[in-house]
Amino acid sequence: MLSFNYKDILSATIEQFMIPAERVAHVQVSNSLEHGLLLLTKSGYTALPVLDPHYKLYGLISLPMIFDSILGLQRIEFEKLDELTVSEVMNENIPRLRMYDSVQLGLDMLIDHPFVCVVNDEGIFEGIITRRAILLKVQELSNQYKD
Ligand code: AMP
């Protein structure tokens, strides 16, 4: 059983694990669905934050959301990619963290989400926290107890 001091992680704040906004790929809220699909595909991620030009966070857009919105009863309605905007398809009901929140709170949210967005008090996007960032820290601590 691991004996590292898990309080090292739990007493940290979200800020210490955050990938800052300037290093996070995102989609503009007014983009067409086609443009959103292009950005998602090029980024290699399955979901991205949706922002306005002032970095206000509106929600998340994912590949399954886009595909679901263009699925007709008989065929895939590709023309909808040009007709719909990201704002019409995105998920606005997403968890949000603040920089000063505890990693404990972040962990609770990361159970159900691969990443969680971090915003300031005005709802401006500050970055993301990912499962990977937490796991890297756990790995670093557990390596200290290897033979
Ligand atoms: P990871 O834990 O690194 O695999 O990241 C989980 C998810 O977080 C990815 O699938 C992306 O949706 C998102 N993500 C991670 N890093 C970035 C980034 N630099 N820009 C945008 N999204 C990211």
Distance CA 18, CA 127 (A): 6
Specify if 122 maps to a domain: yes
How far is the centre of ligand 1, averaged over its atoms, from the C-alpha of 115 (Å)?
7
The model carries a pTM of 0.90
Residue pLDDT, tens place only, 20-40: 999 999 999 999 999 999 999
Specify if 1 maps to a domain: no
Nearest CA to ligand 1 atom 16: 24
Q: Which whole number is the average pLDDT over 60-87? A: 97
Alpha carbon separation from 70 to 9, 34, 40, 73, 125 (Å, rounded): 42, 11, 16, 10, 28
Q: Which range marks the domain in which residue 76 is found?
A: 7-144
User: Which residues make beta-bridge pairs with 117?
Assistant: 96, 128
Ligand 1, residues at Cβ distance < 6 Å? 19, 23-25, 45-48, 114-115, 128, 130-132
Specify if 96 maps to a domain: yes
**Residue 1: its pLDDT value, please?**
45
**Residue 10: its pLDDT value, please?**
74
**Residue 5: its pLDDT value, please?**
65
Specify if 112 maps to a domain: yes
Specify if 73 maps to a domain: yes
**Which CATH number fits the domain that encloses residue 112?**
3.10.580.10
How far is the centre of ligand 1, averaged over its atoms, from the C-alpha of 48 (Å)?
8
Contact (CB, 8 A) for 8 and 112: no
Specify if 116 maps to a domain: yes
Specify if 2 maps to a domain: no
Name the pairing type of β-strands 47-51 and 57-62. Answer: antiparallel
In the chain, the number of structural domains is 1
Has residue 73 got a pLDDT over 60?
Answer: yes
Specify if 46 maps to a domain: yes
Residue pLDDT, tens place only, 86-140: 999 999 999 999 999 999 999 999 999 999 999 999 999 999 999 999 888 888 8
How far is the centre of ligand 1, averaged over its atoms, from the C-alpha of 146 (Å)?
29
